[in-house]
A and B are shown apart, each in its own frame.
Chain A
């Protein structure tokens, strides 16, 4: 049985779903989908690097497609189509060797806090654009920027140069998404089952978390049926926004998207993902490095203080459900004079289950699907005290008119606790629409 990725829709091969439902898919549709997937895979220049490689366009598709046969590389686009001038002046670009695209998400919400509704009923959840340019046979240049509702900002998620060192190894440098769990590597809105990403992702890891650095990505096999992937990077790490820019206590996301180092010492980030079976993946990720500024105006104000972040993620399939979980913990060395208010230990976890209810939704609506999901998650901003935490339960019913687009109807209920452990309930109904374009 082929793996169905977290969206509950098998985007790696419509045939599998069609067969499972005993509904024939026309040859034309199959050819279009296959052609689209090949194009997407080709755009994901690190296509031979499974799992940890965040593809520029459709990382989940890339992951799903490569997970079954990780070592099998998809050949890069035909080099004969690239004009020779690119080899000498790649910065001039060429439409024939540049791919671009993006995705968007609109959110309509009825949100209430302790019974009082929020007048902001419409917002852009995410707007993303990317391009990829091939610079010769071994190098590629990619960039991706997004407006993200969670970050409430435009984020440069990628601006990196990638060089193929070997068949199973890439080197890369620039700005890229830190390999801190699958959600940070793979958070395209159209592929996601819920209107909101998990609390551990947005509030602890700080998805989208892009950093400046350099490193390697690769894959290997423990045995022919047990592949693994890895990534190791030296990055700028979090900056002192973790403390200085954080309102109400330590918040790692306030120190993310750090494109310049403040202390001259890089952080080390890495992830290894194991795939013991086709349907299962377990990832272990960590980042460690100093975050603070030790000198201000030439005067030494502090010594280096470290943030250690560990993220564990996993997904599998059981009883017709796609199950996924992500957990993280952080240790932050806070200056003594701030420890009463700023946490030194934080953690969070999320568990979600999704199920493909029907595909195609109607007899003749090929490519459509209906799926549902439920998720529970929590983040504790200060493990030392009972309060300062957020817990959330959410459910979603998703209609996909096309594998690359989704219309979601969702509900969430959240308990926010302040440092006094006073509870403020929040809840809402959401209607979100997301699509690649």
Chain B
């Protein structure tokens, strides 16, 4: 064979190899392996609800971008702040980690704004002074909560939350949940869910001290990132530090436009809770035990949403495993710090969802309760007291296999 023909043959082999590689790359298998795969529905915290319109999905994407946007100091971050973006606190849109824990403090019911209350901002831009915890204050450590499913929580009517309340324990079951009735922020736009003259049923935050998701977002921009908006046009500074020189804060107020706040609020509204795991026989038994131990007295399995402008949120059952009410959980969990009308022993019932994949976004650990001190469901249950004492004791009295089944059920949510 001549050199020329051998050369052409070699080229033909090369071309065939490239063509084969291209076919593999563009096949579904190849695309998946070589070009990344989309996670299965329900396997992440940052996926949209099912049933959203195309326009709503567009809004979701806009908000997704803004939620992940890291602010620079030149863009207005600070002068004092906790973190640089929404996503920097909420790992994968789930709960935060100990390194991102927020420190709330007060002196009794006094939020001590003159001392930097109600939250420590422990980072500062050059020229500003970070806050330090004053002596002798009541302190509460709070892990940033998950942000998925908050639209569904918002869509639950006040009346539905109030329906489960039993502040005087009229039924004598030892559980006396009550609504944290709050006054919404005056800056909330008319028509915003949770807005109005009040009182409205608080539902967001570890002590249900906020009624409107929009307010939660505005406060997070201002308190956590030091980003001003038309709703909070004045910079947060350390009142105990030296005055901040002009020019230290590098961006004019407001540092984000209103539509940015709206984008992030809409994004969070449309975040779907991850789907629960498969209901095995063991989990079925665990579910029965969960109900039998009266855990469902607070962790109400299903709530029902009311009308909502986003169709996917309206009039549907939500497997939230929470009544969104305040309960006394005893001395061990008490932060002894009032928050609005919630006292130092009361906490909002935490929804039990996203548990199944929570470890993936927490470095392989579980961080439960308001400050992440419990690293397993078992540990969290053991720390319950107060109104939950009877349920805890029922759990502790179970045989090991039953405990395991109950834990397996909870961790599959």
Q: By the criterion CB–CB under 8 Å, are B97 and A420 in contact?
A: yes
A337: CB under 8 A from chain B? yes
Q: By the criterion CB–CB under 8 Å, are A420 and B92 in contact?
A: yes
In whole angstroms, what is the CA distance A299 to B127 when docked? 9
In whole angstroms, what is the CA distance A297 to B244 when docked? 11
Q: By the criterion CB–CB under 8 Å, are A337 and B92 in contact?
A: no
Cβ-defined partner of B35 (8 Å) among A112, A362, A363: A112
Contacts of B83 in A (CB 8 A): 341
Q: DSSP majority for the B interface?
A: loop
A418: CB under 8 A from chain B? yes
Q: By the criterion CB–CB under 8 Å, are B91 and A420 in contact?
A: yes
Q: By the criterion CB–CB under 8 Å, are A340 and B36 in contact?
A: no
In whole angstroms, what is the CA distance A297 to B36 when docked? 50
* Interface hit among B71-79, B214-222, B318-326, B396-404: B71-79
A155: CB under 8 A from chain B? no
Contacts of A249 in B (CB 8 A): 70, 84
Cβ-defined partner of A114 (8 Å) among B38, B84, B128: B38
Q: By the criterion CB–CB under 8 Å, are B88 and A419 in contact?
A: yes
| Contact A241 B74, CB 8 Å, known A114-B36, A296-B127, A337-B124 | yes
Shortest Cβ gap from A123 to chain B (Å) = 18
In whole angstroms, what is the CA distance A409 to B129 when docked? 52
A74: CB under 8 A from chain B? no
Contacting residues of chain A (251-298) with chain B, CB-CB under 8 angstroms: 254, 292-293, 296-297
In whole angstroms, what is the CA distance A296 to B79 when docked? 14
A429: CB under 8 A from chain B? yes
Shortest Cβ gap from B370 to chain A (Å) = 19
Contacting residues of chain B (119-141) with chain A, CB-CB under 8 angstroms: 122-130
Shortest Cβ gap from A11 to chain B (Å) = 23
Cβ-defined partner of B248 (8 Å) among A114, A296, A357, A411: A296
B85: CB under 8 A from chain A? yes
A413: CB under 8 A from chain B? yes
Number of residue pairs A-B, CB distance < 8 angstroms: 115
- Kindly report which residue of chain A lies nearest to residue B250, judged by CB atoms: A244
Question: 1/0 contact trace for B40-78 toward A, CB 8 Å?
Answer: 000000000000000000000000000001111110000
Contacts of A293 in B (CB 8 A): 126
Question: 1/0 contact trace for A402-423 toward B, CB 8 Å?
Answer: 0000000101010000111110
Contacts of B250 in A (CB 8 A): 244
Q: By the criterion CB–CB under 8 Å, are B87 and A418 in contact?
A: yes
Q: By the criterion CB–CB under 8 Å, are B74 and A115 in contact?
A: no
In whole angstroms, what is the CA distance A335 to B39 when docked? 39
B23: CB under 8 A from chain A? no
- Kindly report which residue of chain B lies nearest to residue A418, judged by CB atoms: B87
| Contact A297 B247, CB 8 Å, known A115-B37, A421-B363 | yes
Question: 1/0 contact trace for B4-16 toward A, CB 8 Å?
Answer: 1001001100100
Contacts of B126 in A (CB 8 A): 240, 243, 292-293, 301-302, 335, 338
Q: By the criterion CB–CB under 8 Å, are B246 and A337 in contact?
A: no
Shortest Cβ gap from B348 to chain A (Å) = 25
In whole angstroms, what is the CA distance A363 to B130 when docked? 71
Q: By the criterion CB–CB under 8 Å, are B39 and A115 in contact?
A: yes
On chain A, the number of residues with a Cβ less than 8 Å from chain B's Cβ atoms is 48
Cβ-defined partner of B38 (8 Å) among A110, A115, A357, A426: A115
In whole angstroms, what is the CA distance A306 to B162 when docked? 58
B99: CB under 8 A from chain A? yes
In whole angstroms, what is the CA distance A340 to B73 when docked? 15
| Contact A112 B36, CB 8 Å, known A397-B18, A419-B88 | yes
In whole angstroms, what is the CA distance A89 to B83 when docked? 57
B190: CB under 8 A from chain A? no
Q: By the criterion CB–CB under 8 Å, are A301 and B4 in contact?
A: no
- Kindly report which residue of chain A lies nearest to residue B32, judged by CB atoms: A115
| Contact A244 B73, CB 8 Å, known A420-B92, A425-B36, A427-B34 | yes
Cβ-defined partner of B70 (8 Å) among A115, A248, A362, A397: A248
Q: By the criterion CB–CB under 8 Å, are A340 and B361 in contact?
A: no
A116: CB under 8 A from chain B? yes
Contacts of A72 in B (CB 8 A): none
Question: 1/0 contact trace for A81-101 toward B, CB 8 Å?
Answer: 000000000000000000000
| Contact A302 B92, CB 8 Å, known A296-B245, A341-B84 | no
| Contact A301 B91, CB 8 Å, known A112-B35, A362-B11, A426-B36 | no
Contacts of B34 in A (CB 8 A): 411, 413, 427
Q: By the criterion CB–CB under 8 Å, are A296 and B72 in contact?
A: no
| Contact A340 B123, CB 8 Å, known A244-B250, A248-B85, A296-B245 | yes
B256: CB under 8 A from chain A? no
B25: CB under 8 A from chain A? yes
| Contact A247 B39, CB 8 Å, known A338-B123, A420-B361, A421-B363 | no
Shortest Cβ gap from A238 to chain B (Å) = 14
In whole angstroms, what is the CA distance A429 to B33 when docked? 13
Q: By the criterion CB–CB under 8 Å, are B72 and A247 in contact?
A: yes
- Kindly report which residue of chain B lies nearest to residue A385, judged by CB atoms: B99
In whole angstroms, what is the CA distance A244 to B127 when docked? 12
| Contact A243 B73, CB 8 Å, known A397-B18, A420-B97 | yes
A77: CB under 8 A from chain B? no
In whole angstroms, what is the CA distance A358 to B250 when docked? 56
Contacts of A302 in B (CB 8 A): 126-127
In whole angstroms, what is the CA distance A361 to B12 when docked? 12
- Kindly report which residue of chain A lies nearest to residue B39, judged by CB atoms: A114
In whole angstroms, what is the CA distance A246 to B83 when docked? 13
Contacting residues of chain A (63-122) with chain B, CB-CB under 8 angstroms: 110, 112-116
| Contact A422 B92, CB 8 Å, known A112-B36, A243-B73, A427-B35 | yes
A150: CB under 8 A from chain B? no
**In the complex, given contacts A113-B36, A361-B11, A420-B363, what are 13 additional A-B residue pairs having Cβ atoms less than 8 angstroms apart?**
A112-B31, A115-B35, A245-B73, A254-B72, A293-B126, A301-B127, A301-B245, A335-B126, A338-B123, A341-B83, A397-B18, A411-B25, A422-B91
Cβ contacts A to B, 22 pairs, < 8 Å: A112-B31, A113-B36, A114-B37, A241-B74, A245-B72, A247-B70, A248-B70, A249-B84, A296-B247, A297-B246, A301-B245, A302-B127, A337-B124, A341-B88, A357-B14, A363-B4, A370-B14, A411-B25, A413-B35, A422-B91, A422-B92, A427-B34
- Which residues does A use to contact B, with CB under 8 Å? 110, 112-116, 240-241, 243-249, 254, 292-293, 296-297, 299, 301-302, 335, 337-338, 340-341, 357-358, 361-363, 370, 397, 409, 411, 413, 418-422, 425-429
The 5 closest A-B pairs by CB, nearest first: A115-B38, A301-B127, A247-B70, A248-B70, A299-B245
